[in-house]
Amino acid sequence: MIFITGRRIMILMIGWFEWAEYLSIVLTIIGLCLSLTIDNQILFIIAITFTLILSLINRFRSENRTKARIAGALSLQMRRFSAEVAEVKETIDEYIEKQKAVITPPKLASNTPKSDNQIIASLQDDLESINKSVTSIIEYIKEHKLELRLKTLEQLYQTNQNINKSQNFPSSSIKLPDKNALTKTVNYDLEAPPKIAWKCIHIINAHQQSVTDLKITKDNNYLLTTSWDQYLRLWSLETGVEIDGVEISDQGVVAVCVNNLDYINYGIATGGLDQDVKIWSLKGDKNKSWRLSLEHTMSLHEGSINGLAIANEQKILLSGSSDQTLKQWDLETGRLLSSSFDESGAIGAVAVCEKHEYVAVGGGDGVISLWQLAGENKLGALIGNMSSLDAIAVNSTGELIAGGCADGSIKIWRLPTTTFSLYLEIEPFLELKGHQGQVMDLCFSPDDKLLYSAGTDGLIKIWHPSSESELGHLKISDDNRIFSLSLSKDGTILAAGGVDGTVKVWQQSTF
């Protein structure tokens, strides 16, 4: 009661001082008028002095009241802030406890209204951002099966250290062959390397962007090229002139392949970032000039198409994708024949051997998986490589498989004579080190004596695997990296595509 009475007295005193100040101002004005009338300034001086004193007192009291209000407001805000921080901390603690018990974290207070306080609102935004990041990381790990892929890499490392492990199979009756049969020393044919030379016959400004892939037709008449600029182009190898060009996608085109028995009727296939596989034919007009004609579009992949190959005699198209599937299609109808999921990871390169009826695919984890042609069975794996692969080549007999690696090396595996009678895991018997950068493409010569490799260092290297030696190199230009390579079926024409869109064509010449 006494406190309330004192507070009222203080309020009344504050009001009296303000009224006294207003009254003194009026008296000052009156004193000024009187001093001017009677010519005596004493009353004016007294009034203005009294007014100034009251003004100073009121200003001082007003400042104290303002500080008291601010202090009170800050105190109240700090109490609210502490309560909200405690609430956020409690929410975080609950989230951590739940995270220990579940795989996928729940979303935290996504529907909680934002605080009016700027600091608390900022903390809420940060907490929500952290929650989204953790959730996306866990979902990515689950979606891409990183745990399984890490285990695969660990097994490869152990294998590389000569620690062999048995692979788990559905049937316990399947046994691996004797490892000595797979690692025995290979006897090379030690005849001298062939003496060949190459002369440039065409330099073509083929595309506005990098040439991603190119293929020479079996009769050496035409060259097909694809690019990031979304075009498929057909060129005359005799003149170096473009015959036809079609914008086939709204995204980059990555791969092209050609049926060597009949490239005119359903004989060309393309794939790229739009996830579509397309089959093309060549059709002639009245002037007998070829035009590219789209026959089929297959849209069953869920990732970019990184590698294509054609089994010519069986007319089967093979496509490898970032979605980790190898799909086999009927080349004439576009019908899906089979789809195989490769647990090794995204597929970056595809090659086929019709003689032994297998398809070789490889990608980010460095393993080359061998799959049954015109079937869905996995036949074996080429191991012993820890670097990602962007190029695979199979020789004419199907006994040698070469892989181009991101570290600049080329590894070669030799399949035993008991190919695929049992599931095989095979180590490389030869490694060639020559590129200062990623190996982008590979191809064997028709007689299997030479191996051609192209890399991001801008060089095309010619290898003689029997002597493990490099015979020489070619290049498009001094500052042009090479993305694609193609050797004609008779081995007399070589074409390479550069990062600047240039295609260079060489023809073999004798000494």
Q: Among 60-69, 284-293, 306-315, whose mean pLDDT is lowest?
A: 60-69
Q: Where are the alpha helices (DSSP H) in 385-488?
A: none
* Cα distance between residue 360 and residue 424, in whole Å: 13
User: What burial letters (b/e) apply to 181-220, b meaning 16+ CB within 10 Å?
Assistant: ebeeeeeeeeeeeeebebeeebebebbeebbbbbbbbbee
Residue 159 has pLDDT above 60, yes or no: no
Average pLDDT in the 366-372 region?
Answer: 95
Residue 173: its pLDDT value, please?
39
Which span out of 83-87, 100-104, 467-471 was modeled with the highest average pLDDT?
Answer: 467-471
Collapsing DSSP states into helix, strand and coil, what is residue 306? Answer: strand
Confidence of residue 114 (pLDDT cuts 50, 70, 90): low
Q: Which residue has the higher pLDDT, 59 or 264?
A: 264
Which amino acid type is present at position 331? L
pLDDT tens figures, 311-329: 999 999 999 999 999 999 9
Q: Which residue has the higher pLDDT, 36 or 80?
A: 80
pLDDT tens figures, 372-398: 999 999 999 999 998 899 999 999 999
411 token code pair: 């590894």
* Cα distance between residue 254 and residue 244, in whole Å: 18
Alpha-carbon distances of 61 from 10, 25, 67, rounded to whole Å? 11, 18, 10
Residue owning tokens 């008779």: 490
Q: Among 90-94, 211-215, 247-251, whose mean pLDDT is lowest?
A: 90-94
Beta-sheet pairing, 389-394 with 347-353: unpaired
Residue 295 has pLDDT above 80, yes or no: yes
Residue 369 has pLDDT above 70, yes or no: yes
Residue 167 has pLDDT above 50, yes or no: no
Residue 109: its pLDDT value, please?
46
* Cα distance between residue 148 and residue 129, in whole Å: 28
Residue 429 has pLDDT above 50, yes or no: yes
Residue 46: its pLDDT value, please?
74
Task: Tell me the longest C-alpha to C-alpha distance in the chain.
Answer: 137
Q: Among 11-15, 145-149, 169-173, 328-332, whose mean pLDDT is lowest?
A: 169-173
Instruction: Give the DSSP H/E element, type plus range, for residue 348.
Output: strand 347-353
- Indicate the CATH number for domain 195-509: 2.130.10.10
Residue 177 has pLDDT above 60, yes or no: no
Residue 106 has pLDDT above 50, yes or no: no
pTM for this prediction:
0.64
* Cα distance between residue 214 and residue 278, in whole Å: 16
Average pLDDT in the 340-356 region?
Answer: 94
* Cα distance between residue 502 and residue 210, in whole Å: 8
How far does the chain reach from its first CA to its final CA, in angstroms? 121
Residue 7 has pLDDT above 50, yes or no: no
Residue 226: its pLDDT value, please?
98
